Amino acid sequence: MRKNQNFAQPVITTTYAGEFAGKYIAAALLSARTLDNKYITIMPNVKFKSVIQKIAVDSIVNDASCDFTTSGTVALTERILEPKELQVNLSLCKQEFVDSWEALQLGYSAFDTIPASFTDFLISYVGGKVAEATETSIWQGNSATNGQFSGLYNALSSSVLDANTTNRPVTASLSGSVDSSNVLARLNSLYEAIPATIYGKEDVTIYIPTNVAKAYQQALSGGTAGANGFNNQMNVGEKPMNFQGVELALCPGLASSAIVAAQKSNLFFGTGLMSDYNQVKVLDMADLDGSQNFRIIMRYTADTEFGIGNDIAIYKNY
């Protein structure tokens, strides 16, 4: 007599991956302040490389004649935006996060947006860390360093550009550390260095790090600026974040005292948000090894590039 043997159902590891992966990556990347506020031009869907073409013309207006006579010169050059592949591989113990997540679910939070599931909670936590790293790399990153991509200030202040006059940014006459006693003079030095070719353009922006933003607020509050402060009011809210009519954009990723003046349309961030490189997975390891660990895996690409260096001014922090 044959007996039927009932086997247990196979264990399937809880996994998140699929069509929404790109949206989680997008949230992680675009939560970086520089990107979230669109302080630079974002170029998504860069699969491999994107060519940023620059055209320079000179002496194109001549006296009229009956014939067609080519006037002036046209120079077409290009810069390459090539996003670097990056990844996050983390193992997190769920017990360290369950209490916090349950507190959110019970309403013990000032935030209105609460992750609907524990998986979403973990992804949002890791996404915040990815955003911090992205913000820093946008300005200070070095593609040769593990976990970083090329940064804008790092490239603009490179000694390699000093020998390349065709694409070298203009350097402010002053340099060094910035504090509340000298911030106005330092910003004025950069302001004077803004190329005439872009001055007055709508998207011209001065990008400042946290220490410069704080020093500027202190100076306008009448601290070291005395009677020349903004109405000499030390306790009446935030003062206007612009200098001589040019927007001051706080970018925490900039190194201390490093400042850049440029058009938003001349600074680029490229990523493959919707490309095949985007991947988010959350693996609950309990059914595999009996542990209380979650593994989070992210893959994405990122890079920065500037267009015309001669249309950018920088203040060197050294």
- pLDDT digit string (tens) for 295-314? 888 889 999 999 888 899 99
**Residue 13 falls inside a structural domain:** no
CA neighbor of 212 nearest in space, from 178, 167, 241: 178
**Residue 261 falls inside a structural domain:** yes
CA-based diameter of the chain, in Å?
109
In whole angstroms, give the CA distance from residue 269 to residue 52.
11
**Residue 191 falls inside a structural domain:** yes
**Residue 61 falls inside a structural domain:** no
**Residue 23 falls in which region: left (phi positive, over 0), alpha (psi -120 to 50) or beta:** alpha
The token pair that represents 165 in the structure block: 């006059």
The token pair that represents 55 in the structure block: 């055209």
**Residue 11 falls inside a structural domain:** no
Q: Which uninterrupted H or E stretch holds 137?
A: helix 118-140
Is 293 in contact with 93 (CB distance < 8 Å)? yes
What digits encode the pLDDT tens for the residues 130-171? 999 999 999 999 999 999 999 999 999 986 664 556 678 999
Choose the most confident range, by mean pLDDT, from 69-73, 103-107, 218-222: 218-222
**Residue 15 falls inside a structural domain:** no
Q: What are phi and psi of 52, to 5 degrees?
A: -100, 105
Tell me, what's the pLDDT at 47? 82
Tokens 């911090």 found at: 132
Reply yes or no on whether the pLDDT at 5 is more than 50.
Answer: no
Q: Which uninterrupted H or E stretch holds 91?
A: strand 84-93
What digits encode the pLDDT tens for the residues 14-33? 455 555 677 777 888 877 89
Q: What is the CATH number of the domain that holds 102?
A: 3.90.1690
The token pair that represents 108 in the structure block: 């013990």
CA distances from residue 126 to 75, 145, 166, 192 in whole angstroms, order as listed? 45, 21, 41, 42
* Total of domains in the chain: 1
Q: What are phi and psi of 42, to 5 degrees?
A: -100, 130
**Residue 142 falls inside a structural domain:** yes
Is 86 in contact with 149 (CB distance < 8 Å)? yes
Tokens 């976990």 found at: 147
Q: Are strands 41-43 and 293-306 parallel, antiparallel or unpaired?
A: unpaired
**Residue 9 falls inside a structural domain:** no
Tell me, what's the pLDDT at 283? 84
Tell me, what's the pLDDT at 69? 67
Full DSSP string of 189-244: HHHHHS-TTTTT-TTEEEEE-HHHHHHHHHHHTTTTTGGGSSTT-SSSSPPP-EET
- β-bridge partners, 300: 86
What digits encode the pLDDT tens for the residues 194-237? 999 999 999 999 999 999 999 998 888 765 544 455 555 555 56
Tell me, what's the pLDDT at 36? 92
One-letter amino acid of 156: L
In whole angstroms, give the CA distance from residue 206 to residue 243.
8
Domain extent at residue 278: 21-52+75-315
CA angle, corner 69, sides to 63 and 72, nearest 5?
75
